Amino acid sequence: MFAGKTTHLMRCVDEERARGRTVFVIKSELDVERHGEAAREALIAHDGTRRRFGGRVRATRALSAAALGADAATCDAADVVAVDEAQFMGDLVAFARRCAEELGQTVYVCGLDGDYRREKFGGVLDLIPLCDTVTRLRGTCAECGGESLFSRRVEASEEVVRVGGRNEYAPVCRACYVAADARERGSASAR
């Protein structure tokens, strides 16, 4: 988290639109929970940057035609499909394959590959064998200022999917993740 994934996706979408290509953006319904109703019509990054795309944004929990509803035809007709927060999307691999291989669309997928426990998150990693290119972004470790590789949950919770920003998660490097994990295990065993 906090590596600039949504901001990077915004730049890709802006570049495609500048080339005259039509773009359809799909994002997680969970963004509406985090950012409010404005998230139904725009991509919103953690830093507050917003990009509106008219009627070409759909907030959903799955990528099937049924989940896209009336927007499915608009999505199919676009030159480019951009998916934000892909780790929350059901049917990700089948959807991306259909868009790229059957419909001939350019597909951008943005999302976390691992959760705060450093375990596979959603279907993002399953896309790698199908990808033309993979860009792995890194942020800045909240503890030491180094390059962050992982997300660490700030507040204790067993929920895997918990919507939040810096109040819930922190970007950390490997050393800081391991040190925090050891501290948490030590305090848990002391109770």
Ramachandran assignment for 48, one of left (phi > 0), alpha (psi -120 to 50 degrees), beta (any other): left
Rounded Cα distance between 38 and 68, Å, is 18
Q: Residue 14: which H helix or E strand, with range? A: helix 5-18
Catalytic residue, candidates 37, 41, 85, 168: 85
Active site residue 85: yes
Contacts of 94-99 with CB under 8 Å at 24 or more apart are: 94/63, 95/63, 95/64, 96/127, 96/130, 97/130
Please list the active-site residues. Answer: 85
